Structure 1
Amino acid sequence: MRLGNAGMRYRDIVDPQQSADRIAMRQMMDAARAFNTAQIWPEINNATVEQEAGLPHIVECDGLTVHDCGQAFAQQFQGRRLWCRRNCRSEFTVAPIRDDSLSRDTGRRFSFADRTEAALFRRTWG
């Protein structure tokens, strides 16, 4: 009694058409992932000087800190970030506003590549 046909299994694994189909599917999935990532996550973390130069529209949220908001900080901060992720097509970044004389953050700076998105953010979050 023989268990399986090794030649057939090998042929199924290395079938050129099947390999080409897998490569094509992988390329389509990679392209879709890249497109969706750009649409879903336009946020830049730890922006470089060059990236910051491309984000000239700034909205400062003074008082958006743990010290000023207490337990409500996380909800308020994440609400603003989620708004940006849902509504911004262009890049944006968030950075703390630091006051060295107080040795703490005094707010958050939202920087946008698009002027209209910055204006909508300012109107929504005042």
Structure 2
Amino acid sequence: MDYRKAIDEAMLYCTTLPNFRCGLFIRTEVEYDIVCDLIDDAYINNFEMKPLHKGAGFVLTFNNGSTIYFMHFLNDVNDGVCAPRLHMVYISEHIPKEVIDTLINPMMIPYQLMDVIKIIGAGK
């Protein structure tokens, strides 16, 4: 998964589409550190950042009502962390398919202007 490309694409969708909700699901501490560094380097001064419940990630909010949820899956049970319905997600290849099927796919809904939901980075 190319983290820079995923974050930039999510930012593009969220800045151009109102009320768009995107999720980036990561698994390892290394991935979490990379994502945090990329956000700090390029975007920290442009958006409001809020931590998620139990330190499992953070949320970027945009002026047009769009949001990006950065979700750090600490284990398969995920300690009850959830996001609202999402229009697009980026998923780390380290997250097992069972977790994708049971926790992430139920969060997905189509966006009002899009015909296709893109799930990127889930396996090869």
Q: Provide the TM-score with structure 2 as the length reference.
A: 0.27
Q: Which has the larger helix fraction?
A: 1
Q: Which has the larger radius of gyration?
A: 1
Q: Provide the TM-score with structure 1 as the length reference.
A: 0.26
